[in-house]
Amino acid sequence: MSGRLSILVPLKEQATVRCVLQNNIIVGHPETGENLEAISFYYDDVKLSIGVTADFMQQEAQIVTNGIELTTTSPITFVVSWIQPVTGDNDLPTFFSVDLFYFVNNKNAMDTHKRTVSIAFFNI
């Protein structure tokens, strides 16, 4: 994995939040897991994944063409990770790295976890 970024959105009231690529050319592909909603994008030799720990069956949320959108009243953390160069043998780590549960509970991933940067947005 080349990098990872976590984005904390500290909500206190209901809001619709989007984590998207500002690009209409690249189309994402959904990659979901247990309590994980993710979308991945491939461009040249890069794979970028956006994920959020959420149960879309119990929240007003959706994977959109260029990212993830959800309506919630609770703080939410989006995770973005990327790998370059991506090959058929190494594209799985971006999926696991956007799953906060896996990443916090997997000792093998902790060295990469040190690259995490948290950003808080207060004016939404």
* DSSP character at residue 59: S
- What is the chain's length? 124
Strand partners, 19: 68
pLDDT at 54 over 80: no
Q: Report the alpha-carbon distance of residue 12 to residue 76 in Å, rounded.
A: 10
What integer pLDDT is reported at residue 72 of this predicted model? 86
pTM here is: 0.78
Domain locations in the chain as residue ranges: 3-120
pLDDT tier at 7 (50, 70, 90 boundaries)?
confident
* DSSP character at residue 33: B
Mean pLDDT, rounded, for 24-40:
84
Q: Report the alpha-carbon distance of residue 80 to residue 50 in Å, rounded.
A: 5
What integer pLDDT is reported at residue 123 of this predicted model? 36
User: Structure tokens of 52?
Assistant: 């959020």
Ordered alpha helix ranges (H), 22-117: 92-97, 100-105, 110-113
